[in-house]
Structure 1
Amino acid sequence: MRHDAAGAELEVPRPAQGYAGDVAPTLAWQWVQAGRARLVDVRTDAEREWVGYVPGAVPLAWKQWPGMQPNPAFDDGVRALLAQDDRPLLMLCRSGARSIAAARRATELGATAYNILEGFEGDLDEHGHRGQRGGWRHRGLPWRQN
C-alpha cells in the first residue's frame, strides 16, 4: 500500500499527470460502495478468468492477450460508460501500471478517471510473486475466482 509521508494510507486521491489522480484500493472500494464511481477492470480477459475478478466491475481490457495488443474496443467502451452517467472511472489492472495508461486515455475521451494504486495483485515480492505486497486481493476487498 502506498502511504503518505507520515505512513498513513492514502485517504484522498494523489494528484497525477494526465488523469484525475491515484487512489488507494480501499478508497476506491469506498467510492464504489457509495455509488460515487465505477470500477473498470482493464486487465485482459484471461487475467480476469484465471486470476480473479471483482464482482460488479466493468470488464474493459486496455490490452488483450495474446500479444498484449491494444484493445480496439477500449475507446467505445469508455464512451458507452460516459453515455450512461458522469461518475468517475476507477481503473484497475494487475499492478497499477496499465491502469495509468487507461486512465490517461479515458481522460482524453472526457472521463474523470483515476488509477487504483497497487492493482489487483500488488507488487512483486522478493521471490518474484504477486499477491503478498499490496493489491486489491491482499487488502481483503471483494473478489471472486472462476
Structure 2
Amino acid sequence: MTHDPKLSQRQDAQAPRESEGTRPAEGYAGDVTPQLAYDWWRAGDAVLVDVRSDAEREWVGFIPGAVGIAWKQWPGMAVNTSFDEQLRAAVPPGKKVVMLCRSGVRSQATARRATELGFEAWNILEGFEGDRDESGHRGSKGGWRLRGLPWRQN
C-alpha cells in the first residue's frame, strides 16, 4: 500500500481541529466550544437544543431562542420518551444541531442519539454551567454563562 500525500492533506483539511473550536468525538460529529456553537446558531447554520430539564432551565437560567427539549426530567430524571419526536420537529433536515446541558455529559448522549436519527449533531463543551471548582460549585470553570454568551434567568 502506498501513501498518497494529496489524499492525506485532503483528509487533514476536512478533519475538525481544536484550534477551530471543534474536536472529534466517538458516535457523533464532535465537540464544539460554546463560542463556536453560538456563532453557528446565530448564523443560522445550526439549531441550539438545550437538553437540560425544564426545572434547570427555569431555576438556573436559559438561552433565549434555544429549543428546550429535556433528555431527562426532574424529579427522578426519567428519560423523555418524546425526545426523538420533539427533536425531529425542531431541527429541519440538513441543519446541524448543537446540544447543550449543564456540564456537557447529557449533551454527549443526546448528540449520539441525534446522530442515530440522522442529524449532524455536536456536543457543546463545558455545558451551561461548566465543571465543578475545588469547592464543588459550578459557574467558575467554563460554561456558556461564564463565557459571556447570552442567557437569562427568571
Structure (1/2) with the larger helix percentage: 2
> 1:41 corresponds to which residue?
50
Q: Which moved more, 1:121-130 or 1:12-21?
A: 12-21
User: Does the alignment pair 1:19 with 2:2?
Assistant: no
Equivalent position amino acid for 1:109 in 2 = L
User: 2:103 touches 2:128 (CA, 8 Å); kept in 1?
Assistant: yes
User: Does the alignment pair 1:60 with 2:60?
Assistant: no
Equivalent position amino acid for 1:88 in 2 = K
User: Does the alignment pair 1:133 with 2:141?
Assistant: yes
> 2:90 corresponds to which residue?
81
Could you give the per-residue CA deviations for residues 9-40 of structure 1, whole angstroms, max 9, x where no partner exists? 74242111100000000010111111111100
Identical counterparts, % of pairs: 68
How many Å apart are 1:134 and its aligned residue?
0.1
> 2:116 corresponds to which residue?
108
Q: How many angstroms apart in 2 are the aligned matches of 1:104 and 1:124?
A: 24
Secondary structure of the equivalent of 1:40? strand
User: So what's the TM-score if we normalise by structure 1?
Assistant: 0.90
Secondary structure of the equivalent of 1:144? coil
Q: How many angstroms apart in 1 are the aligned matches of 2:20 and 2:34?
A: 10
Q: How many angstroms apart in 2 are the aligned matches of 1:114 and 1:108?
A: 13
Q: How many angstroms apart in 1 are the aligned matches of 2:128 and 2:19?
A: 17
Task: Give unpaired runs (5+ residues) of structure 1.
Answer: 1-8
How many Å apart are 1:80 and its aligned residue?
1.2
Q: How many angstroms apart in 2 are the aligned matches of 1:77 and 1:117?
A: 23
> 1:122 corresponds to which residue?
130
Moved over 4 A (4+): none
User: 2:129 touches 2:145 (CA, 8 Å); kept in 1?
Assistant: yes
Task: Give unpaired runs (5+ residues) of structure 2.
Answer: 1-17
Secondary structure of the equivalent of 1:106? helix
Q: How many angstroms apart in 2 are the aligned matches of 1:105 and 1:40?
A: 13
